[in-house]
Structures are given as C-alpha cells and as structure tokens.
Chain A
C-alpha cells in the first residue's frame, strides 16, 4: 500500500471516530415532561411565553417566567441572563436548558417574532 493511502486511511478512521463521537453532542427537541426524565441534561424545548403569569426581571442576570410547551404543560423557567428585550412580543420561543427540581434552567432563548421583516433574536450562549 502507498504511504498516501495509509495516511488517508488513518485520517478517514480518525474522521469517522470524531464524527460518530460528535453525535452525542447533538441535542434533541423535547417537552418539559420528557426533559424531566433526565434532570440536569440539556435539551431544546419549544414553547410559548405565558404572558398572563408573572415575570421577574428585577435581576439583570436572571429572568424568571412561565412557559407552556407544545404538549400544553406549563413550567417555571429560570433564564441565566437579563430579560430578553420584548420577549412579550414573541410568538414562540426555543429554550435551551435542563430541568432541575421541576424548574427549567435555561441557558439560551431564541425568540420568533411576529414581524415578517424582523430577524429572529437569540440571547444567551452565543460566542
């Protein structure tokens, strides 16, 4: 076998190992209930802000609100960050985080805003 082929074979093997390995990095879309099955593990949950429930934005580094997921269950969400501007106007939010003690600890929120010409907004763990 040629040297090139050997090296390529090794590289391909490494690449396959890395790529299979990275699948465990991928998250899944869950509901609050299914995320609660493994507390502490992070998932994506698609939901809606409960606008009639209280929101706490006193702390610039923590924002507490209630969200309803697609199955209709409502959970208290603790976002480690300031209140995203105009979250009240969002149509839908995608929350990244984990369940702990029945509360959803959120590390990133992406909002879908109704205006067609406004881009979606992401807050949280970018960069």
Chain B
C-alpha cells in the first residue's frame, strides 16, 4: 500500500513537472504578445510545479515509511536497510541506492525551484521551464517502466522484492515474507558514519544548485536579454560554489574518517567527477563578474555555466552506470545499460538546448572590441578562469579513461588503463594550477576593473609580498619543506593567506559586504596550506620492527628491510614502539550481536629524560562484518590534536572464530605451504607407513605424507601424517608439531594428479596488524574549507542585497 501510494506520487510528479515545463514554456513564449494568456499559463505552471513538489515530498514520505517500518517485501528496504539499523542511519539508506539519490536530487531541485518561482520576476517563466524540464528528466529515472525483459525506463524505488527477483523459488510460497525474509541486507557499513548522514544532502544541494545558473543562462539566451540574468545568476553561482565545495570536502572528511586509504583525497574518479563541475562553476562565476563590471567575456561565461550543469549530469553518468568499473573505489553498482542510455539521452537533450541557443545568439552577443589593460582586474581574472578550465579538462581526460579507452583500443590496439600512481599523476600537474590560481586569487583584488593605478597597487603588494616571504621562510624551515615546486606552492599559499587578510582588514576595513571575495580566497589559501603541510609531512609511524616476518628464499634481510614496511604486527599485551609512543594491543571486544569488532590499543608517551609517562590515550580502531557477508571492513580511529592527527586502522587481525578450523591445501611433490612462523614442503609419499599412533591391520592400505617444516633459520622437523583405508573407508592420523602449535592431517589422496590433500590447524596468539600515520596540521585544511564557504556565503548575501537595492530604486 505505501508502495502504491509512493508510485502514484512518482507518476504525479512526472506528469506535474511535464505540464509545468510546458505551461512555463507557453507562458514565456506568449508574454510579449498576449500578456493575459501568458499570465494564465503562468498560474497553471506554478500550480503544477507546486503539485510536483508536493509529490516529491510524497515519494520521500512513502519510502521513509517503508524503510522505517521495515517492510522488507519492498526491494529498497530489503536491499538497503535492516532492523538493527540505528534510527539516525535510516536516512542514509535513501542515498545508498541509485533511486534514492535521484529522489534527493529531485527534492533539492524542487525546493530551489520554489525559490526561483518566488523571486524570479521577469525571468521566472523562462528559468522555470528549464528547471521543470530537468525535473521531468529526473522523474523519468524513477518511473520504472518495463518493455519486455530487457528494456526499461528508470527504476522505481517501490518495486517489490518478489517482482525484482521473479526467478527465486521462495516467492512461490505465499508466506515467503514471514518464512524467509526476516530482515534486510542492511546498510553498507562504510556508510554508517555521521558524515554519511549529512554529506550526501549537502553534496546534492550543491549539484542541484548548479541548475539555477544553468536555467538563468538559458533564460538569457532564450530572448537575447543579457542584463536581467546577471545578478540572480551571480548570487546563485556563489551559493552553488559554497555548497558544492562544502559537499565535496565533507566527502573528503568522510573518507578520512571511515575509509582506510589514509587520507581525505585520493583523486578517485568519483571525487574528480564532482570536483570538475566545481572548477568550471568557479571559473564561470569569475567571468560573470568580469561581464558585470566590463561587459566582456559573456560568451565564455555562458559556456562555463552551461557546462557546469552538464558536467553534473556527466558525473552522474560516470558514477551511476558502472562505466568506471575497475577504476574506482566507490563507484555505485552499475544499473545496467538502460541507465547508461537514459542518462546519455538526458545529457544529449540538455546539450542540444545549450548548443542550439548559443548558436542562435552567437553573432548578436555583446562583444567589446577595445583591448583590456594588462593592469586591469578582468585581464587577470580571465586568465585565472581559463586556467581553471584547463585544469578541469585535464582531470576530465584522465578520469574518463574508461569512457574513451574502447575508442583508443580500436585505434591503437592498446587497452588503456588509469595511471599506476594516480595521486602522483594528478598532483604533479595540478600543483602548477593551484599555484597560479593562488597567486592570482591574492593579486587580483589589488587590481581594479578597467584600469589600475599601478603605483598604489604595487605598494600594497610589496608589503604583502615581504610579509608572505617571511612567513614562507618560517614555515618552510620549521616544516622542512625542501622540494622546489612544493616550496613554491608554500609561498603561493602563504601569499594568498597574507594578501587576502591584508586586503580584507587593512584595505576594506573588514566591512562585511566587501570582504566576501578575500575571505573566500583566504579559505582557499588556508586549504592549500593545510593540504601541503598534512601531505608533505605525512608520516607513517607504524614501522615494523618486531622481526616477526620471515625471510624468503632468494631474499636476504637487507633487501627485505629496504621495502616498505609500514604495517606493524602487534601481539596481545606486547608493547611496541611507534614514534614517541609505546603502543600495546590489549584485546578485542567480543560481542555476538554487534557486527563491529573493536580492538583496543593503548598508547603511552614517555618523556625520554624523566622516563615518566606524560600522556596516555586509547584508540579503538574497528572491523565491521556486515550482515550476509563474510568480509570485514576496517574503520579507522584517530587521535585528534590541534596541530596534528594520529590516524590508525587495522589491516589484519587474528580471527578467534577461525582458530578451531582446519585449512585445506592440495599439494604436489615439491609444493610448499606457508605457515605462521615458517613454511612446510611436501616431499612426497611414504608407502606402508606406520607409527606409534597407527598400527596397521591386515588389509589396510596406508600412506604417509612426507612433510618438512622450516622456520626462519632453516629446517626444523620432518612430520608424516598418515592416511589409510580400512574396510573401504578413509581414515587419517594426525601429526602434531607442538613448537608451532600445529596439527596436520593427510585427509585425501588424489591419485590421478599424484597430489595430497593436507589440512592444517595452527593456533596463533592474538594479534593485529596496524597501520598508523600522523597528519600534521590537517586542521588548517578543515579551517580553510569553513572559511572559504563563509566567504562564498558573505558574497552571496552581499550580491543578493545589492540586487534588492537596485530593483527598489528602479521601481
């Protein structure tokens, strides 16, 4: 029943948005010729957009009802939630699935649409017809219309489990629900994190907000009116830049806290896919400022802001269709080819509208013949925007490898894969981009639009330059930043910080409405500084020194030591040194009901002179074993200081449940089996075997496996577990090796292969393998994000209130 209601709302939202788009379109097209007709179309359009918004809320409510009441007959609830899920994560279930994310997107679009409806004035009909049209597009992804077995349009979140998996025999039983489907699959454990409750809504608000500048640009091109759109587009772009930026970095914070790649940014395709539109958005925002002040760069502004929203759809295409395949850590499960074509069709339509209108207006768009001054703000701002676009292009090409590699294979015959070292690949290029952008972001504000009095600007710049140079030297020396490009980047970020602070407080006297831009730029500078300090001096402190590893044939110890040894093995209650700390693994939590296993690790910092413990803390990194899965996921634990973080996670742990189990190996003569603390080699069979535990009887067929055990130093012992057949039944006699707490069975003989099946059980002491890192000054990065977002918002309010003032005076 809630499903039927929900589905009804999907249909209603689709029809209402379709009608709203049409009515807004009619209203926009008749507003010059038939004002009365246009008014009535407008009323109908508004009404149906409101109905659409209500239905979107209805879809949400219905799905929330299904999830929170654990109605597992619905596939969505079954696939993404479970009874044990804490209340606060019920919302996260929404965005685990593709349909829920589209719903979230539709929700924000409709909310923002209401604002545009209320405040759009003359632009409302045109902008809203685009917004409603995009809502139609999103609604189609939820329709779930099936044509035959293979073709479908969209997929509904209200589909029943029994319809989703028709082939499964359990559904033949009318009581399948009470008998078989007791609980859902549960939410992916890495999403069970508070960041995952708020990161997706903010990110999707960022995605949705790019639609508004897009719609206003289309509205401007539609009638060739390049005046009215400027102020609302500027305010919305600032909003979007702040929110999208915040959303992206919240994703970084989530990755830092709950994924174990050890960082906040890995240049993963999914991260890149949302960064690229932010870059083009910020570029477009700046060229729009140029246009507002000087009437230049209108074409470039349109290209950038239209592209931004198209790139949001492209990023949806990359992350949702499974096309990234092997290249991404967190690409969502592929929805199959139907979604691929569906999204391509939507991108195609939006692209056609954009290109068509640009084409139509190309010649008539305002251009200024006169050349700009090299001392003007617009000149350098334009260059900065262009550099951002180039950066976006580079990231897009590398991220899109799985998209274009079939073409490359067809041409060159090579199967192109992403770079082996992705972080290095992007960093080595983008470091120059951020350097240029940071320098420009600081310098530009000292330049005035059209023409600057070079002398005055130069004086201020000289002061800031000297302060930043001193600041750079100080940080560079204390933090030991010695590699050329990184030192330059350090200067660029220090300069961005100093110059923008100076501008905001010394020149603009901290007048709120004037300091949006320098505050946002300051935040950018702080982010860069935080990124540089935390990654340049990122230090692994968990070097393996316990000597528990074994040397391998052909590898001497020297060679072994040279390799990366960043994971440390910790046995229970045995303290190990980690940088300034002594760390001790104290045991794990063993709860039958909790899917999370916490490992307690105590840290003590001992003063080297007094030998007293000066600091003591405990971290609980954990492993999570999701329902219906045998796998564990590691969840890091960090100790936060103001100036650094100690970040730890579990790589491996002894599994108390596996202790009693035998592991089975099939070995041929000469094969080796690796053990804890050594290895064993199978030398072959010994016929007619016997020992003290086995005395043959008449008619027995017996054979022993000749096994030699080696440890780090060499041969330790020969053992011979026996396999025999008596009265046509198989038996085996174990052999044990007490030093290694090991029992060995010869459980089967495979005469065709000449192979033996050996089962081994080895008891090991409790241990964990831990990796620990220090991220210095990572809080500078988070501070920078907050400052930048505040800067965006200050600018937005300023631009917004400025608009109010202008209109009032005009009326």
Spell out A's residues near B (CB within 8 Å). Answer: 2-4, 7-8, 11-12, 15, 18-19, 22, 25-30, 42-44, 46, 52, 54-62, 64, 80-83, 85-86, 89, 94, 96, 107-108, 110, 112-113, 115-122, 125-127
Pick the residue among A4, A56, A80 that contacts B679 (CB under 8 A): A56
Q: Which residues in B have their C-beta under 8 angstroms from that of A107?
A: 420
**Contact across chains for A3 and B566 when beta carbons are under 8 A apart:** no
Q: Which residues in A have their C-beta under 8 angstroms from that of B414?
A: 28
Chain B residues numbered 426-453 whose CB sits less than 8 Å from any CB in chain A:
429
Chain B residues numbered 155-211 whose CB sits less than 8 Å from any CB in chain A:
185, 188, 190
Q: How large is the interface on B (under 10, 10 to 19, 20 to 34, 35 or more residues)?
A: 35 or more
In angstroms, Cα B750 to Cα A90, docked, is 27
**Contact across chains for A122 and B429 when beta carbons are under 8 A apart:** no
Pick the residue among A42, A61, A83 that contacts B566 (CB under 8 A): A61
**Contact across chains for A22 and B398 when beta carbons are under 8 A apart:** yes
- List 10 tightest A-B contacts by C-beta distance, closest first: A127-B263, A126-B261, A56-B674, A59-B549, A44-B417, A29-B415, A86-B631, A60-B769, A60-B567, A27-B417
In angstroms, Cα B611 to Cα A112, docked, is 49
Spell out B's residues near A (CB within 8 Å). Answer: 79-80, 185, 188, 190, 261-263, 265-266, 268, 326, 328-331, 333, 371-372, 374, 379, 382-383, 386-387, 390, 393-394, 397-398, 401, 414-421, 423, 425, 429, 544, 548-550, 552, 560, 563-569, 623, 626, 628-634, 651-652, 665-667, 671-679, 769
Q: Which residues in A have their C-beta under 8 angstroms from that of B429?
A: 18, 22
Q: Which residues in B have their C-beta under 8 angstroms from that of A42?
A: 420
Pick the residue among A58, A96, A121, A127 that contacts B674 (CB under 8 A): A58
Instruction: Using known A-B contacts A19-B394, A64-B674, determine if residue A11 contacts B665 with beta carbons closer than 8 Å.
Output: no
Q: Which residues in A have their C-beta under 8 angstroms from that of B626?
A: 117-118
Q: Which residues in B have their C-beta under 8 angstroms from that of A89?
A: 630-631
**Contact across chains for A61 and B261 when beta carbons are under 8 A apart:** no
**Contact across chains for A4 and B569 when beta carbons are under 8 A apart:** no
**Contact across chains for A3 and B420 when beta carbons are under 8 A apart:** no
**Contact across chains for B417 and A26 when beta carbons are under 8 A apart:** yes
**Contact across chains for B416 and A58 when beta carbons are under 8 A apart:** no
Instruction: Using known A-B contacts A56-B674, A125-B423, determine if residue A46 contacts B326 with beta carbons closer than 8 Å.
Output: yes
**Contact across chains for B263 and A57 when beta carbons are under 8 A apart:** no
New contact pairs (13) apart from A25-B425, A61-B564, A126-B268, CB-CB < 8 Å: A22-B394, A26-B398, A54-B671, A57-B674, A80-B564, A85-B633, A86-B630, A113-B631, A117-B333, A118-B626, A125-B421, A126-B423, A127-B266
Q: Which residues in B have their C-beta under 8 angstroms from that of A2?
A: 371
A78 to chain B, nearest CB (A): 9
A127 to chain B, nearest CB (A): 3
What are 23 inter-chain pairs, A to B, with CB distance below 8 A? A2-B371, A3-B372, A3-B379, A15-B393, A26-B401, A26-B416, A26-B419, A30-B415, A56-B552, A56-B674, A58-B550, A58-B677, A64-B552, A80-B563, A81-B564, A82-B652, A86-B630, A117-B79, A118-B188, A118-B629, A118-B631, A119-B329, A126-B268
Pick the residue among B268, B331, B565, B629 that contacts A61 (CB under 8 A): B565
B595 to chain A, nearest CB (A): 13
A45 to chain B, nearest CB (A): 10
Q: Which residues in B have their C-beta under 8 angstroms from that of A117?
A: 79-80, 185, 188, 333, 626
Pick the residue among A4, A28, A96 that contacts B416 (CB under 8 A): A28
A26 to chain B, nearest CB (A): 5
Q: Which residues in A have their C-beta under 8 angstroms from that of B423?
A: 125-127
Q: Which residues in B have their C-beta under 8 angstroms from that of A110?
A: 326
Pick the residue among A4, A26, A120, A125 that contacts B379 (CB under 8 A): A4
B208 to chain A, nearest CB (A): 25
**Contact across chains for B674 and A11 when beta carbons are under 8 A apart:** no
A46 to chain B, nearest CB (A): 7
**Contact across chains for B630 and A61 when beta carbons are under 8 A apart:** no
**Contact across chains for A60 and B568 when beta carbons are under 8 A apart:** yes
**Contact across chains for B674 and A119 when beta carbons are under 8 A apart:** no
Q: Which residues in A have their C-beta under 8 angstroms from that of B665?
A: 52, 54
In angstroms, Cα B387 to Cα A11, docked, is 8
B566 to chain A, nearest CB (A): 7
In angstroms, Cα B420 to Cα A94, docked, is 11
**Contact across chains for A127 and B262 when beta carbons are under 8 A apart:** yes
In angstroms, Cα B651 to Cα A52, docked, is 23
Q: Which residues in B have their C-beta under 8 angstroms from that of A120?
A: 326, 328-331
B398 to chain A, nearest CB (A): 7
**Contact across chains for A85 and B634 when beta carbons are under 8 A apart:** yes
Q: Which residues in A have their C-beta under 8 angstroms from that of B417?
A: 26-29, 43-44
**Contact across chains for B394 and A126 when beta carbons are under 8 A apart:** no
